Amino acid sequence: MSKKGAIVLSGVRPTGHLHLGNYFGALRNYVKMQDEYNCYFFIADLHSLTTHPDTKELREHVLSVTSYYLASGLDPDKCVLYCQSDLPQTTELYLYLNMLAYKGELEKTTTFKDKVKLQPENVNAGLLTYPVLMASDILIHRAMYVPVGKDQEQHLEMTRTFGNRFNHRYGEVFPEPQAFNFGEQLLKVPSLDGAGKMSKSENQYATIYLSDDDDMIRKKVMKAKTDSGPTEPNSEKPDYIVNIFDLMKLVSAPELIEKYEADFNACTIRYGDLKKQLAEDMVRFISPIREKAKAIREDERALSIILKVGAQKAAENAEKTMDLVRRAMGLKYF
C-alpha cells in the first residue's frame, strides 16, 4: 500500500482552547501528514460529553478548534476534516463494539481511574466506555496509523483488542491500527510551572494557548518558575530550568539558545532576560496563527461548508466499513 493509500486518523476534544502542546505535539505533524497519507482529522465533540455535559459553549469550541486547525495549515482539499457527531456511523459501530467490551477491562483503564478521581459525582457509562468510542472513531475508517501520545497508547491497544474480537467472532473486517508519530520522537511541551506538560484542563496560567493575546503570553512566560541561578560552573539544570530551555528550542533562534546555555554554564545567566527573550519569541510565533484563526472564525459560512463537505467525505468511507460490518454480523437482512 502506498503512503497516500494508508489511512491516518486523529481527533481532538473541543473542551477548551488549543495550546502550544497541541500544536507541537500534533498539529505540526498533521500538516506534514496530509501531503503523504490519506488523513481524517475530526473534532471529538461526543468524547467531550463524558466530562463536559454542559453543551452551551460546545458549538463555539468546535468552530474555534476548526479555525485553529485551518490556521495551522490543515487543508480541506488535502485531508478530511469533520465533526464527530456528524458521522452517525461512528455511534452505530460504537453500539456493536460495546457488545465486545467487558466491564472489568474498561474499569482497569488508566484514564478511567484518573477521571473517576477527578469527577466522582459524574462516573457515567460514556466515561467507562470512552475507549470503545475511541476504537469506533479509528475502526470506522479502518485506519492504519493513529498519532497518539503516551497517555493514549492503552486505548489504541484496546482498539486492536476490540477489532480482533470482532474479526474472530464475525469475520475479517478490521486491520490492526498502529501508533504513529511521523518518524519523530513524540514531543511533550512542558508547562510553565515545571509540573508536567501543557494541558487544556490543568493550570491555565502554566499553559500558553494559541488564542492568548501578546500581553497574556508575556505575563505567563514571566511568571515561569526560576531560581537565583547556578553557583558552580557547568551545573546540572533543575527540571524547571530545563523546561524553559525546552520551550526556547521550539520558538527561538539556535544562536540565542547557545548564548543562554553558555551564560548558564558560566553562572552569569539572568533569568529575567531569558524569559523576556522567550516571551517575545513566543509572541512572534503565536500571533500570526491567532490572527489567521480569528479571521477564519469570522467567516462562519465558509467554516460550515468545510465541516459539511468533510462529513460527507467521511460518511462515504464510513458507510463502506459499516456495510462490511453489518454483512459480517448478519444484520443485512435484505
What are the residue numbers of the active site?
115, 197, 200
Closest CA to 278 of 213, 205, 194, 192: 192
Q: How far apart, in whole angstroms, are the C-alpha atoms of residue 135 and residue 139?
A: 6
Asked whether 96 and 136 are in contact (CB, 8 A), the reply is no
Is 183 exposed, middle or buried, given 0-12, 13-18 or 19+ CB atoms closer than 10 A?
A: exposed
Sequence-ordered alpha helix ranges (H) in the chain: 20-22, 28-33, 45-48, 58-71, 88-98, 103-107, 110-118, 125-128, 130-139, 153-170, 214-222, 239-251, 254-265, 271-298, 300-329
Q: How far apart, in whole angstroms, are the C-alpha atoms of residue 180 and residue 184?
A: 9
3-state secondary structure of 184: coil
Left (φ > 0), alpha (ψ -120 to 50) or beta: where does 112 sit?
alpha
Q: How far apart, in whole angstroms, are the C-alpha atoms of residue 116 and residue 164?
A: 28
> What's the farthest any 2 CA atoms get from each other in the chain?
80
- The letter for the amino acid at 27 is L
Q: How far apart, in whole angstroms, are the C-alpha atoms of residue 68 and residue 291?
A: 10
